[in-house]
Amino acid sequence: MPKIWTDTIALHRRDMRAAILDATAALIAEQGLGATTMLAIAERAGIGRATLYKYFRELDAVLVALHERDVASHLAELEAARERQGTRWQRLERVLETYARLAHAEHGSELVARMRHTEAVARGFIQLNSLLQALLVDAIEEGLVREDIPPPELAAFCIGALSDAHTLPSQAALRRRVQLTLAALRTSG
């Protein structure tokens, strides 16, 4: 097949995959995980069941793919927060605020609860830890962050300190929690 054809096919497959995941996300949001079946997904995406099964062999594969897409999108958002203008301290603050907000927004998500112990989540945390570590190392070099604790431990502390962000009652409480977390990192004296 000419290259232009294979490209078109690859593009079509990617779009179809995305449409299936969009349909699944909409179904979960509107009717809950319990009502999300392969049949309901196919109907929602406007495709036949046989076509759906060509893309995903079972419901769990759709859910894992959807969740992996969410994790990737969260990491992209965190990286964008890191890249925006500002001092190193402001960038650290922005990344922690973004992470707290994402964790807060996930509150009560059935999909997140079901996927808690998956590999995608474990990989996501490793990437988040690396992202934070890189920021922290820079901030330590500038004398903004304490140097008496290894950066991997500082990064793990930040993630732990925000791990229950979904239980906080308001955006104000969320901001206070981020400020508390940052206060621990600050060079003392």
Q: CA-to-CA distance for 160 and 169, rounded, in angstroms?
A: 18
- 33 touches a second copy (CB under 8 A): no
Q: Which is nearer to a second copy, 37 or 179 (CB)?
A: 179
Q: Which is nearer to a second copy, 85 or 188 (CB)?
A: 188
- 85 touches a second copy (CB under 8 A): no
Q: CA-to-CA distance for 136 and 103, rounded, in angstroms?
A: 21
Going residue by residue from 153 to 172, which x/- string records binding to a second copy, judged by CB under 8 A?
xx-xx-xxxxxx--xx----
Q: Which phi and psi (to 5°) does residue 186 adopt?
A: -60, 140
Q: CA-to-CA distance for 70 and 137, rounded, in angstroms?
A: 27
Q: Which is nearer to a second copy, 1 or 122 (CB)?
A: 122
Q: How far is the CB of 168 from a second copy (least distance, A)?
A: 8
- 86 touches a second copy (CB under 8 A): no
Q: How far is the CB of 182 from a second copy (least distance, A)?
A: 8
Q: Which is nearer to a second copy, 50 or 183 (CB)?
A: 183
Dihedral sign from CA coordinates of 170, 172, 178, 180: negative
H/E run at residue 177: helix 171-185
For the segment 132-151, give every residue that binds a second copy (CB under 8 A): 146, 148-149
H/E run at residue 29: helix 3-31
Structure-block tokens of residue 187: 């060079």
Biggest CA–CA distance in the chain, Å, is 69
DSSP, collapsed to helix, strand or coil, labels residue 145 as: strand
Q: How far is the CB of 184 from a second copy (least distance, A)?
A: 4
Q: Which is nearer to a second copy, 24 or 181 (CB)?
A: 181
Q: CA-to-CA distance for 52 and 42, rounded, in angstroms?
A: 6
- 188 touches a second copy (CB under 8 A): yes
Contacts with a second copy by CB under 8 A lie at 146, 148-149, 153-154, 156-157, 159-164, 167-168, 173, 176-177, 179-181, 183-186, 188
